[in-house]
Amino acid sequence: MIGVAAGASAGYLGSLMVLKKMALVGDAFSHVALPGLALGLLFHFPIFIGAFAALFVSAIIIWYLGRVTKLSYESIVGATFTLALAIGILMIPDRFDLLESLFGDITNVTLLDTVAAVIISIVAILLTKMIYKKLVLGMISEDLAISKGISVSKTDLLYLLLVSLVVATGIKIVGTLLVGFLVAVPAASAKNISSNLLKYSMMSSAFGAISVSSGVLLSNYLNVQSGPMVVVSGITVFAVTVALRLKTK
């Protein structure tokens, strides 16, 4: 259940990342969670709280710097994510905890984790749905969006905070190194075969859920870590959509 919820929400929010041509930002942004996750392990509080706190603060900083400097999010995130990754790795002395943090381990997911993930995913999807068209309009023309009464900066901030929530939720399953995959590849797969914006967003969500659920099932069957198998499943879906797109040409 947690896999379906996390995959669906990550795919849905990731559809905007791909439209904004920010897929690599989503991947790099996920690494910022590692220091917060490390603090959770060191001081024995839920790692979701630590991861989300780090992502929340980072999202505000990235948004603020983007508005002040007019630099792209890619430039700002690229300048900081490797530092955050290095600090997080240095803060986690135990090798097993480090591997789990980087690649995920769904066997440690509790009932509380599942309930929280489902609620967070539903809230994230609903809030993103409310601002989806505003974000798309802002991508097309910020001036046009402002003329329509849309606060582009506030909408962008809300979107970044929602991404923070979804990324923090997905870390339990695929880890900080691979969770960026969930906000990029399912959406890229949907873009290969979707004919309009509604189908694109819905298919992105569906492919995210399929990637995670099938990856988790395969990891249980093969007795391997869930993170890498989720990636393998997602890439398989992507390959199928590429083949379908080539076939229709």
Is 239's pLDDT higher than 90? yes
Between CA 162 and CA 92 the distance in angstroms is 27
Between CA 186 and CA 112 the distance in angstroms is 26
Is 150's pLDDT higher than 90? no
- The percentage of the chain sitting over the pLDDT mark of 70, rounded to a whole number, equals 81
Q: Please say whether the beta carbons of 54 and 32 come within 8 A.
A: yes
Task: Report the pLDDT value the prediction gives residue 21, as an integer from 0 to 100.
Answer: 67
**pLDDT: which is higher, 61 or 190:** 190
Between CA 235 and CA 229 the distance in angstroms is 10
Is 237's pLDDT higher than 90? yes
Phi-psi map region of 180: left, alpha, beta (phi>0 left; psi -120 to 50 alpha): alpha
Mean pLDDT score of the chain: 80
Confidence grade of residue 108 (pLDDT, cut at 50, 70, 90): low
Is 133's pLDDT higher than 80? yes
Q: How many residues does the chain have?
A: 249
Task: Report the pLDDT value the prediction gives residue 104, as an integer from 0 to 100.
Answer: 62
Task: Report the pLDDT value the prediction gives residue 126, as an integer from 0 to 100.
Answer: 92
Residue 248: Cβ within 10 Å count: 7
Range of the domain at 119: 2-248
Is 46's pLDDT higher than 80? no
CATH of the domain at 134: 1.10.3470.10
Question: DSSP secondary-structure letter at 94?
Answer: -
Confidence grade of residue 91 (pLDDT, cut at 50, 70, 90): confident
Residue 54: Cβ within 10 Å count: 24
Between CA 130 and CA 63 the distance in angstroms is 20
Is 113's pLDDT higher than 80? no
Task: Report the pLDDT value the prediction gives residue 1, as an integer from 0 to 100.
Answer: 62
Confidence grade of residue 240 (pLDDT, cut at 50, 70, 90): very high
Its pTM stands at 0.82
Confidence grade of residue 30 (pLDDT, cut at 50, 70, 90): confident
Tokens of 214: 């099938």
Instruction: State the alpha helices, DSSP H only, in 70-183.
Output: 73-91, 95-103, 111-140, 142-147, 152-182
Phi-psi map region of 46: left, alpha, beta (phi>0 left; psi -120 to 50 alpha): beta
State the average pLDDT over residues 168-188. Answer: 77
Task: Report the pLDDT value the prediction gives residue 26, as an integer from 0 to 100.
Answer: 65
- The percentage of the chain sitting over the pLDDT mark of 90, rounded to a whole number, equals 10
Question: DSSP secondary-structure letter at 4?
Answer: H
Between CA 23 and CA 43 the distance in angstroms is 32
Radius of gyration of the chain (CA): 17
Taking alpha carbons only, the member of 37, 24, 145 closest to residue 73 is 24
Residue 116: Cβ within 10 Å count: 17
**pLDDT: which is higher, 245 or 169:** 245
Report the domain count for the chain: 1
